[in-house]
Chains A and B, each alone.
Chain A
Amino acid sequence: MKNCKDIVMIVEKRELEGLGLLDRLRLRFHFLLCKGCEKYGKDSALLHKLLCQQKQRLEEKIRLSTEEKSLLKSRISNQ
């Protein structure tokens, strides 16, 4: 049976790479027995979501036009 130290590594792998059936079952069984690890699993999933959202916000690639860049440069230089 996996100990908590191994389980948290499996949790991280779940977020970033996905898990096979065996590891998914291991996690589920361990979470039944260990509420600390179950809590960590939830927190890790939420952190993963927040970190992904930071990236998603930048997906649109809105850019400054040439005129906007020139305006920005002149405004900053003149302050």
Chain B
Amino acid sequence: MVTKNNIDTESLVELYGDYLFNVAYSKLRNRELSLDFVQETFLTILEKGDQFEERASLRTYLTTILNRKIIDFWRKNKRQATDNLLDDGGMYEAPDTASRPTDFGLLELEKQNSLAECMQKLPSQWREILEAKYEEEKSGEEICKDFEITKSNFWVIVHRAKMALRDCLGENFLS
């Protein structure tokens, strides 16, 4: 359980601040806005830490919270953009696209967010093996050694994890 009482905010920022800021900035391309979203993410985990079930890594959980907030922000701005296209003089104003994605970008972010959520639902070993392969870029041999599995086991786990992700994401999302 993560609360203000059992984790100091300094550790939270030191351990996950750079990573979350990197994730936010890669989507928003604005430092100030990214900082705000990272702040909100930390505040959310401190307020709702009892909902963290520790089935997934805290980093994955924080990333999911952050991505959700960004999607909500974009959806809200997309609605407002169509309301605010006219300035007071009735002239069309080109929307500021610096931190707002295209519809395609929003769909891609939603896919990434759903993928992160589905990763969280995987059995821990499967998730850790996928993270070792895709995030840490370890070789199959290194992963087999770390997890004490055979190469055949490795392929089976990758296959089963992908089947589970496919089921979680749904056919429509992949098409």
Contacts and interface: CB of A to CB of B under 8 A. Distances in A.
Given A16-B140, A73-B9, A50 B162 contact: no
A52 B175 CA distance: 18
Contacts of A3: none
Interface in B2-51: 9-10, 12-14, 17-19, 21-23, 25-27, 31, 35, 38-39, 42-43, 46
Contacts of B10: 73
A35 interface: no
Nearest to B136: A55
Contact of B22 (A9, A17, A58, A77): A58
Contact of B23 (A8, A12, A58): A58
Contact of B46 (A9, A11, A12, A76): A76
Interface of B: 9-10, 12-14, 17-19, 21-23, 25-27, 31, 35, 38-39, 42-43, 46, 108, 111-112, 115-116, 130, 133-135, 137, 140, 152, 155-156, 158-159, 162, 165-166, 174
B155 A72 contact: no
Interface string A62-73: 111000110111
Nearest to B135: A55
B21 A62 contact: yes
Contact of A9 (B27, B134, B159, B166): B159
Nearest to B29: A62
B26 A75 contact: no
15 contacts: A47-B174, A51-B115, A53-B108, A54-B112, A54-B135, A57-B23, A57-B112, A58-B23, A61-B22, A63-B21, A72-B13, A72-B38, A76-B9, A76-B12, A79-B46
Given A47-B174, A63-B22, 19 more contacts: A9-B159, A11-B159, A12-B162, A16-B140, A50-B112, A54-B115, A57-B23, A57-B26, A57-B27, A58-B26, A61-B22, A62-B25, A63-B21, A64-B18, A68-B31, A69-B17, A73-B9, A73-B13, A75-B39
Interface in A6-23: 8-9, 11-13, 16-17
A69 B19 CA distance: 12
A25 interface: no
Interface residues of A, number: 33
